[in-house]
Amino acid sequence: MARDTRGAAAPYTGAAGSRRIERDRKGGGLRKLLPLLLALLLAALLAILVISLIGGDDNSGGSSDAGRLSAGGAQLLPPPSGGLSKDVGRTATGKDVVVQSVNGNEGFFVGSSSTDRVYVEWGGDIGQNEASQFQPKKGDKVNLTGPVQAAGAEELRKLKLSADDRELVRSQGGFVNADRVSEAK
């Protein structure tokens, strides 16, 4: 029997000829998934970066490039917004604190900058004359201990500070009267 082919046209194959339907889908799922997987990987890396930048080490206790200075569990670097007066009488402990400036044989400031710093009396008229034991220089890292002392008018006069430095110590309400200062190892 013969088929009637009148009016029937040959199927359209296009310029490239006939193609199999499966070939169009081969790898199409992976190609669609690849941008999504790359976006997820990028988001994960970005999250890790943000966490490492702002998370830090939870065991540092306020550590920074300026070192750590604390009294009774309260961090003194950078100086608290309420000052040091609430820590008067407590023993301050400094580890790897950076000397910002030295006030002759009277003491020095520790901290991270000319504004974020705390005065340490070491060798002046308050307490014993410790200056003969160790003289830190600007930029040195030191370890120290000593009580936080109130910055009253008489104490400020004895510290022999410049007017600006005296005002900073007065505004903080206290300073560290170090008993021991040593070079940080």
Greater confidence (169 vs 2) lies with: 169
Lowest-confidence pick of 6-20, 68-82, 168-182: 6-20
List the alpha helices (DSSP H) in the chain. 21-25, 28-55, 153-159, 163-172
* Distance (Å, whole) CA 150 – CA 160: 15
pLDDT mean across residues, the chain:
82
Nearest-5° angle of CA 127, CA 133, CA 137?
A: 100
CB within 8 Å of 168: residues ≥ 6 apart: 117, 119
| Residue 62 burial (10 A CB sphere; 0-12, 13-18, 19+) | middle
Tell me the one-letter amino acid at 71.
Answer: A
pLDDT of residue 61: 43
* Distance (Å, whole) CA 165 – CA 118: 10
Mean per-residue pLDDT, 89-110: 94
Q: Max Cα separation, the chain?
A: 126
pLDDT for residue 147 is more than 90 = yes
CATH classification of 68-183, choosing from 2.40.50, 1.10.3470, 3.30.1560, 2.60.220?
2.40.50
154: its two tokens: 């008489």
pLDDT of residue 60: 42
pLDDT of residue 15: 61
